[in-house]
Every structure is written in structure tokens, then in C-alpha cells.
Structure 1
Amino acid sequence: MASKFIIFCAFAFLFAEINGITLDLIHPDSPQNPFRHPSQTRFGYIRQAFRNSQSRASYINHRINGDFSTKFATTVKPSGGGYVMKYSIGTPPFETYGIADTGSDITWTQCKPCTNCFNQSLPMFDPKTSSSYKTMPCDSSTCSSSTSFSCGVNDVCQYQVTYGDQSSTVGDVAMDTLTLGNTAFKGVLFGCGHENGGTFSDSTSGIVGLGGDGVTSIIAQLDRQIGGKFAYCLSTDANSTSHISFGPDAVVNGAKAVSTPLIKKPEQATFYWLNLERITVGGKSLTVKSPVAEISGRREGAVKQASVEGNIIIDSGTTLTFLPSDLYTSFESAVREAIPATPVSDPQGTFPLCYSSSGNLEVPRIIAHFTGADVELSAKGTFVEVEEGLVCLTIISQASLGADIAIFGNLSEIDYIVGYDLGARTVTFKPADCSKF
């Protein structure tokens, strides 16, 4: 489905220990991945990730254009190329899994009775078994807090979300105790889904919303405990173990750490925007043609805040990076000029720029220049082997979407600790060997 946390690469989150407990994440192509399809080749998931990235980017584009139909760590496991996070809901805690999604705000899980649901291999949450479960009435302030909420039957507030591939979920808006790792949070808002369908995987039960909305997102709801801070670290090592961290342990600083303003748009509160000023390929500088205003003198978290509208979304749920069409044309040309090899065609016609990997491909230095932060992209994430003997560029044009959205995807974040601080309104990048966390 379009809003899944779809990543083909190793996703090694910032290592953290919470009350003496650390929980692992498994690479989608690792033999230890319990959800890996046995027939999947080692290249199959990158092809699927390309298709999923297009679907997800299309979904984000629809959202942007108004088309809406204490610190802790927790396990995140992959599911069919996406990653799911283990958590518990209710009292006593009922363990389940949800797709971790920075492009969604509402956390929801399938609930009994389920009148129209997708098959799931996990037990389904029964709200009748939880002593702390409570539905929200139609006249509550909660019910009027989101465009996804409306009044349902029996005076119960109802949510409805439709994703880019027309997968959807409908159910009751409720509150219950949410347990992440060994930390319990009372009165967390979530959706109890009774009608859910589409392309959801059978190895999960719903979505964990990690977007930037100030009401429904887990990040917003747990703000008092985590202070709007979370961090992750991405690796290409299939055998890496990984974690996601929130709160004080998610602070990213020190040598080589660079920060850029995190730009929030009230009308698009879910998404995390950055301002991309230019890209350097080798020694050639390519300027983004979209208007860029001057940076104001106001500071938050020791970073000057931008008086600009962000022009690119940073989204760990999208595998590829999508550049504005005009920038991509000059970018691909510069990459071709910088690589002393002859391009070859992708036999499946998926990727626009590929090379034979039989030789030692000389990948140029590619630097994304955000406001106040120069981020050199890892060659391991910029060119990826998509089949035997063929490596392809993972940065493509937004024109392939038929959309006007630019996205900085997770392959461009390889081997950086990426820390979000919603209070200081910054995103910080720090180089790291994420396979060793």
C-alpha cells in the first residue's frame, strides 16, 4: 500500500538502551527476517521498492493537494519491504505490530468485531478485554480536531483514512494505554479499525503514525515524555540490528553534526519539510530554481530558522529520492559527465540511469546542500545493484510521478544518524557507520 513504511535498504536505527532493554530491527532481505518471502531474490525488493516509492509519493502528493478521503526504544521489524513496530495496546497489554509510518498521523489497529478486514497472521485486538479502552463521543473536542474524524453511529467518533492505492481503514476513535518497550503511556488516541481493506500485509495489524500533526501523531501525543525528539540511522548491511529512539537519547550533536531548519506547514502538518538550496555533483554546483528567501536572524536550538517554505520532504518511508524535474535534468547530466563509463539500459525499464557493475564504478561526490547543512550522500545508497551486474541511480525525477512533489528518501540518508527535534525545529545529520550500531 502507498503509505507503508517501505524501505528496501537496511534500516539501522540509532542504538539506545531504555531501562536496560534494547530491541532489534531486522533487514528486509536478511535470512533472520521472519516476514521475508522465501522465493524473493536478493534483488526483488529493490524493484518492489521502486514501485512502492512511486505509489507512496503519489499518495503524499494527493495529501498535500488537499485530497483526503520518559525516553524509550521499541522493536521495528520489516514486512514485505516495509517495517513494522512492536507495541502493546490496552490493559492488560495486548501485543501487536503496526507499520511505522512518518507519512501518517493516526495510529490504528484492526479491532474485533471486524466486519470487513484484511487477513492478519497476528491475533486481533478486542477492545472488550481492555479495562482502559474508551471511545470518543461525537461532541468531544477530539472529534473535531482532525479532518479524518466525523460522527459515526451510536454517538461514537469515527475515523476514515484512504491511502494512495485506495487501501482504507474505518473505525472508532478511541483512547487506551499504549506500551512501547517497557514504558506505558495512558490515554493515547488511536483508531480501532472495524472495516479495513486493500493491500495491507498479513504480518501486521495497522499503522503507527509518526508524522508531524500536532494532535493525532504519536510524536505529538507523547511530546511531554519525548520532547518532540526521535532519531534513526540507516545502513545497507542486511545483518545489522537496528533501533528507533525517542526523547533525550535521540539528541544528535558533536563533531561533524550539521543542522538545518525543519519547516512545518500548518496546512500540511503531517510532513517534515527541508529547504534544499543546491546539489553538487563532483565539482559542479546545481542550483534549485524554486525561489529561496533569505534566512532570518531568529534562532532556535542554535540554528537560524528559515523564512522560506520548504521545497523537499524528508521521508524515511520513501526509498528513492525524487527531485524537481528541472533540477533532475541537469543533475542526471552532471552524473553522466562525472562517471567515466557508458550507461546501460535497465532491461525492465524501471531506472533511468544504470551502469554495468562488472568494473569498479567511480561514483562522484554528491552533496545535498540544505540551508545550513551540507550532506554528502553515501555512494552505497546513491547507486544500488538492482540485478546481477547492474547498478542504478536511486535519485529520479518527480516527473515519473506525474506530480510536483520532491522527496528526500531513505537511500539518500544512508550512514547518517538523522535526528528530528520538533521543539527546536531542526533536523540534524551526523555521519556514522550505521551497520555497527
Structure 2
Amino acid sequence: MAAASSILLLLLLLVAAPLSSVASIGKVITYGAKAVRPIAKKATKAYMKNEVKERIQDLSGQTNNDGQLGSSAASSYGALVFELSLGSGTSAQNLSVVMDITSELVWAQCDRCSSSSCVRQTPADTPTFISQRSHSFNKISCNEKSCQDFIRGPGNICRSAGDRCEYTERFVGSGSTSGYLANETFTFGTTAFPDMLFGCGGDIRLPGLAVAGASGFAGFSRSPLSLVSQLDISQFSYLIDNSGDRSFLSWSIGQAADTALAKGSRITPLLVPKRKQNPYWYYVKLTGVKVNDQLLTDIPAGTFDVGADGSGGVFLSTTLPVTYLEQAAYNVLRRGVLHNCVC
């Protein structure tokens, strides 16, 4: 879906209804995260400029015989941010993290940049976790299993077994963060979870994605190192409301629980990733697109199917500021929106 041939569909077309999703992964103690809020990030244009450099086509602002569907109004977008307490007892430090359902790791801006090559694309006043102040912080070495599980790829370095486990995590769209892995205590409410795997972030390269007031990301993907896997979260739900009035994030831990649905609501099942797809993402089956409740029948059959090489398909994201569509679907949707536009 995010291949180089993809065309941008601006989120502006979708903001009339808040984004909502429920992901069920299997098992009851419900924890409702507090202080969840959408953060307005006035960076959509900068984000797309960077994406165009990466050969992602952006036709949203171009003009043709059908008229213009511009991107100028989409200047900001929201993300779910919640408080995470790192450390234990009197040494605990509270930081804000962004919920990201495509990320593998929980990480935060950590310690101070110790070299001139350190790059942090975050505001100067971003809260930083100081590991030396924590009584429960333990670095992970290269010979530990948790390190071996994560250091896939050439960007992650382990020269010898005694070295600290260094990592690089790359994000959907663009950007990356690097640092080293450690174990730390996470506290939610009054419940503490010791020995949680945590990324101590040094370099933070997230062009157009810096979130004012947030120190890092909380990975909610299917990865064995995500918060979902480490806490054995059986199901989680979230709502992104750009007004900030109804945004929430909640999850359940424990034995199998039924998802309570409001009367008349429906649930879209998650798909099992196919071979060559990312095994940690949440895929759904998109069967069609409607404009003003009219199905766009001109979208070619198979447009949203998964290819033999793993391309195509539809996955969910809580951090991308835009929605991507293949050009064949985008062209039809564009015509449908312009035909129904009262402007």
C-alpha cells in the first residue's frame, strides 16, 4: 500500500469521522490509559515533501480537468499520547509516549547526547529519561536473547557478546531512532511491571513527525518486543478525535474476554499476514470505497489485494498523517469526491 506507485489520499477527506479501531489478539483486567490526548503536529506539508524525496507520488494538490483537490488545508494531524512511568519508587520518571501500532519497540529519548554526531529532531524542551537516576535500569548485553531477537538487519550492532545491545528502528513512511536496549520497570496506575524491554533512544531522526511534549513511542504492533506482547495485552481499542474531547486508549490483560459492541456496530476482523508481508502489522480487507454512501464501482477488481511479492493489501497506522491508495483507486475516488463536492 505504501509502495512507490501509491498515490496520496489526504486525511482531510476523512476527518468528518474520528479514526477508530479495535484490535483483538487473544485474552480480563481492563486498564484505561489516562491523559491520552491528540497532539496537533503542524508538519503534514513537511512530511509530504520528505515523502516525495523518497519517490512517493503526491498528486493531491495538482490541477487537471477534474479540478483541484488540494493539500493546503491539511496542515496538522493528531496522535495518541499517554503517560508512561519509567523506573520504580522514588526514582520513577514520567514521560509521554506516542501510541504506534506499526512499531516494534517501546523507546524514549534517553540521557544526553554524548557525541557531536548525535542527532535529535525533537524540540529542545523535550523531556528526557535519565537512566543514571533509576534504581531499576539495567543495560542489555549482546549475548542476551532479547538482544538477539531484536538486532535483525545491518543497522543493529553487536561486535562482541559483552557489548551493550545497540539497535536501529525504522518507521513506516520515513525516519528512524537508534540507541541501546535495557530492562526497566513500567508502571500503569498502581501496577508495576518489572524487567520490561525498553529502548534508550540516542539518535532520533523523525522528519516532520516530532511531537511536541512526547519523549518517545510505545510500540503496539504484533512484535514480541512491543508493549502488546510484553504485557500480554489480549485486546486494545483506541479513538483518535482531533478535537481532543473523545480520544481514548484502553487495553485488557488476562484471560479470554468477549469484546462488548454497541448495538448495531460491526467489527472488521484482522487478517493473518501472508508470506512476505510484515508479520507484525495489522492488516484488514478493504472491499470497496463509498462516497456519499455510493459504492465506487469503477475501482478495478483486485486493486486492494496482496501481490505474490507481499506488496498491496491494507494495513492500519496511528501515526501516518495521510492515507495512501494505489493510483487506480485514487483516480476513481478523486472523481467521485469532486462530482459530489458542493464548492
Q: 1:82/1:55 Cα in 2 relative to 1: closer, same or farther (>3 Å)?
A: farther
Aligned match for 2:249, one of 235, 241, 244:
244
Q: Report matched runs for 1:105-184 at 5 Å.
A: 105-115=104-114, 116=118, 118=120, 120-146=124-150, 147=152, 149-151=156-158, 154-163=162-171, 167-184=175-192
**Counterpart pick for 1:23 among 11, 23, 34:** 34
Is the Cα–Cα contact under 8 Å of residues 12 and 241 in structure 1 kept in the other structure?
A: no
Distance 1:165 1:310 in 2: 15
8 Å CA contact 1:27–1:239 kept in 2: the answer is: yes
Equivalent of residue 232 in structure 1, options 213, 234, 238: 238
Identify the match of residue 204 of structure 2 among 196, 201, 207: 196
Per-residue deviation at 1:84? 2.9
Distance 1:56 1:203, change over 3 A: farther
Matches within 5 A, 1:213-228: 213=223, 215-223=224-232, 226-227=233-234
Q: Which residue of 2 aligns with 1:289?
A: 301
Q: Could you report, residue by residue, the CA deviation over 1:259-315 in whole angstroms, capped at 9, with x for unpaired residues? A: 22212326402321111122233444425522789xxxxxxxxxxxxxx99711122
Corresponding residue of 1:328: 330
Q: Secondary structure of 1:142's partner?
A: helix
Residue 122 and residue 113 in structure 1: after superposition, are their counterparts in 2 closer, same or farther (change >3 A)?
A: closer
Q: Residue 251 and residue 314 in structure 1: after superposition, are their counterparts in 2 closer, same or farther (change >3 A)? A: same
**Contact 1:263–1:309 under 8 Å retained in 2:** no
Tell which has more relative contact order, 1 or 2 (C-alpha 8 A, sep 6+): 2
TM-score in terms of structure 1 length? 0.54
What are the residue-to-residue correspondences of 1:287-326 with 2, within 5 Å?
287=299, 289-290=301-302, 311-326=313-328
**How many pairs align?**
279
Amino acid at match of 2:44: A
Contact 2:44 2:321 in 1 (8 A): yes
| CA shift in 2, pair 1:25/1:163, >3 Å | closer
TM-score (norm 2): 0.66
**Which residue identity does 1:91 align to in structure 2?**
S
Gaps of 5+ in 2: 1-10, 22-28, 57-75
**Change beyond 3 A, Cα 1:269–1:23:** same
Q: Which residue of 2 aligns with 1:52?
A: 47
- Alpha-carbon contact 1:173-1:192 (below 8 Å) kept: yes
Aligned AA (1:280): K
Counterpart-to-counterpart distance in 1, 2:167 and 2:38:
32
* AA at the equivalent of 1:25: V
Partner of 1:402: none
- CA–CA distance in 2 between the matches of 1:328 and 1:12? 20
Choose the corresponding residue for 2:83, options 79, 83, 86: 86
Whichever residue aligns with residue 302 of structure 2, its letter is S
For residues 156-201 of structure 1, what are the alpha-carbon distances to aligned partners after superposition, in whole Å with 9 as ceiling and x for unaligned? 2111124478644222111111123333222211111233345445
Coordinate RMSD, CA, aligned: 3.9
User: 2:269 & 2:145 partners in 1: Cα distance?
Assistant: 32
The alpha-carbon deviation at position 134 of structure 1 amounts to 1.8
Contact preservation (8 Å) 1:56, 1:164: no
- 5+ long unaligned stretches in structure 1: 1-6, 30-35, 37-44, 62-78, 294-307, 342-354, 356-437
The answer to whether the 8 A contact 2:108-2:201 is kept is yes
Cα deviation code 1:21-79 (max 9, x no counterpart): 873334546xxxxxx8xxxxxxxx4xx336536867998x9xxxxxxxxxxxxxxxxx9
1:250 & 1:49 partners in 2: Cα distance? 38
What is the CA-CA distance between 1:251 and the residue it aligns to? 3.0
C-alpha distance 175-204 of structure 1, shift in aligned 2 (>3 A) = same
